[in-house]
Amino acid sequence: MLDLGHNRLASLPAGVERLRALEVLYISDNRLAELPAQVRPLRALTYLGATDNEIAELPAWIGELDALIELRLYRNTLTGLPASIGALRSLRELHLHDNRMVTLPATIGELAELRHLDLRNNRVAELPALLAPAGDQRPALRTPLVPLGVLTAGGPDVFLKLETEQETGSFKLRESALVAVTPAAPAGQPNGAAQTAAR
């Protein structure tokens, strides 16, 4: 574990990139304007905490940190995520509250292990259509984000106040400015047909 949090760092100390066996990196509450390139070689990381900085954009190489289980990026200035976020197949928790998020990449649906997604206090107006991974047998769950029962029973309005806890996880979207939900299509059916059926 390396804890560099609660300092005034605008960059990381030299040599951090050589800690190839490092599993936990805490760099929260600093003055980082970007995720430092020294993090890229740290492929053993399972936890990365970079909250309370000034990070406006994640680099595409974030998808190379494929051992990550928990990624905390809340209270930054992020407006979106790179498509490569979908490569984090072990990720279980993604904390993004209090950013400036306006969109989510469709590849977020590839996070098969995702159990906790916190998007509170963002500007996400619409969830992308997200399909669960092929062969996923989890009941009543079409996507990692949207429980099927919510879509059919309540429609988009439910998500204005959504903060659900399910056995499959928790997805917090409260105060996210969400105004629309695009449901995923059943197998063999185009998305348009699914949207019609859900109305």
Summarize pLDDT for 104-142 with one digit per residue, the tens. Answer: 898 988 888 888 888 888 887 766 655 334 444 433 223
- CA-CA distance, 81 to 107, in Å (whole number)? 10
- CA-CA distance, 79 to 154, in Å (whole number)? 28
> Between residues 191 and 143, which one has the greater pLDDT?
191
Is the pTM higher than 0.85?
A: no
Residue ranges of domains in the chain, CATH in brackets: 2-198 (3.80.10.10)
Q: What is the mean pLDDT of residues 175-191?
A: 49
Q: What is the mean pLDDT of residues 147-165?
A: 33
Q: What is the mean pLDDT of residues 7-25?
A: 96
Helix (H, G, I), strand (E, B) or coil at 121: coil
- Model pLDDT for residues 19-56, shown as the tens digit of each residue: 999 999 999 999 999 999 999 999 999 999 999 999 99
